[in-house]
């Protein structure tokens, strides 16, 4: 299935095929231009507009295409090529491919489940790479009845075996505890038990 960005690019290129719109389009770095010279087919080529907006063509040298219309580029190219021909050459400039920046993909998320005395129990979708300590903040903290010294992380490996790890959140906060940098993985279950009577 085509992505929405590919579809948008196709639509935009189709619109640019309409002369009235194409004449107004100003080339951008990353666009590819099609250059055709009727009098010399060896000059026919597709040229990428460089990051500085320049293109380079034999017999014409380097010239600015970025920020200019096809007619402006065509006119300058024809003028530069003219001394190499007995009569003014017929030059055509068009857009071959449009540079459509693809936005970065959104950060991949995982599913982590919180059970027990959390500020917001249930399923959460933190970004992959989130640490346990970061997630404690994301899940809305703990309820007043949480046994924060006995937080459990239940993780099932690829073989289906479950392992249970216990963490002391209070110790993490004062810097004496470990485990806060543990990176969560998809399917992790965090269990926050209720405090005992004198805990």
> Domain residue spans in the chain?
4-97, 112-192
pTM above 0.85, yes or no: no
Cα angle, residue 133 at apex, residues 128 and 134 outer, rounded to 5°:
50
Regions in the chain scoring below 70 on pLDDT: 1-23, 100-106, 199
Residue 76: CA count within 13 A, CB half-sphere: 15
Mean pLDDT of the chain: 83
On whether the CB atoms of residues 196 and 149 are closer than 8 A, the answer is: no
What stretches of the chain adopt beta strand conformation (E)? 32-37, 45-48, 54-57, 61-64, 91-97, 112-116, 122-124, 151-156, 162-167, 189-192
In this chain, the answer to whether the domains covering 4-97 and 112-192 adopt an identical fold is no
The CATH H-level (homologous superfamily) assignment of domain 4-97 is wza like domain (3.30.1950.10)
Q: What's the Cα-to-Cα distance from 57 to each of 3, 98, 99, rounded to whole Å?
A: 34, 19, 20
- Select from 118, 196, 195 the least CA-distant residue to 153: 118
According to CATH, the topology of domain 112-192 is: Outer membrane lipoprotein wza fold like (3.10.560)
In the block, residue with structure tokens 């599913």: 111
Structure-derived torsion over alpha carbons of residues 190, 168, 140, 154, reported in degrees to the nearest 10: -10
pLDDT in tens, 16-54: 443 444 567 899 888 889 999 999 999 999 998 988 899
Tell me the C-alpha to C-alpha distance, in Å, between residue 9 and each of 16, 32, 45, 102, 178.
10, 14, 22, 10, 50
Token pair, residue 1, equals 């299935």
What is the structure's pLDDT at 51? Answer: 84
- Give the pLDDT of residue 1: 43
Residues 6+ apart with CB under 8 A from 145: 117, 194, 195
Q: What percent of the chain has pLDDT over 90?
A: 42
């Amino acid at each position: 299935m085509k992505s929405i960005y590919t579809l948008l690019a196709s639509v935009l290129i189709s619109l640019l095929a309409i002369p009235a719109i194409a004449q107004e389009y100003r080339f951008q770095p990353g666009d590819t231009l099609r250059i055709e010279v009727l009098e010399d087919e060896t000059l026919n080529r597709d040229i990428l507009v460089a990051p500085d907006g320049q293109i380079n063509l034999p017999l014409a040298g380097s010239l600015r295409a970025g920020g200019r219309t096809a007619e402006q580029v065509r006119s300058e190219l024809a003028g530069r090529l003219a001394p190499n021909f007995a009569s003014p050459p017929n030059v055509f400039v068009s857009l071959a491919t449009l540079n459509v920046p693809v936005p970065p993909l959104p950060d991949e998320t995982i599913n982590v489940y919180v059970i027990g005395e959390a500020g917001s129990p249930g399923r959460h979708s933190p970004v992959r790479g989130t640490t346990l300590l970061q997630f404690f903040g994301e899940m809305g903290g703990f309820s007043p009845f949480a046994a924060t010294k006995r937080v459990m992380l239940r993780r099932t490996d690829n073989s289906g075996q479950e392992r249970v790890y216990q963490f002391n959140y209070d110790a993490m906060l004062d810097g004496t505890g470990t485990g806060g940098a543990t990176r969560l993985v998809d399917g992790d279950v965090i269990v926050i038990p209720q405090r005992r009577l004198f805990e």
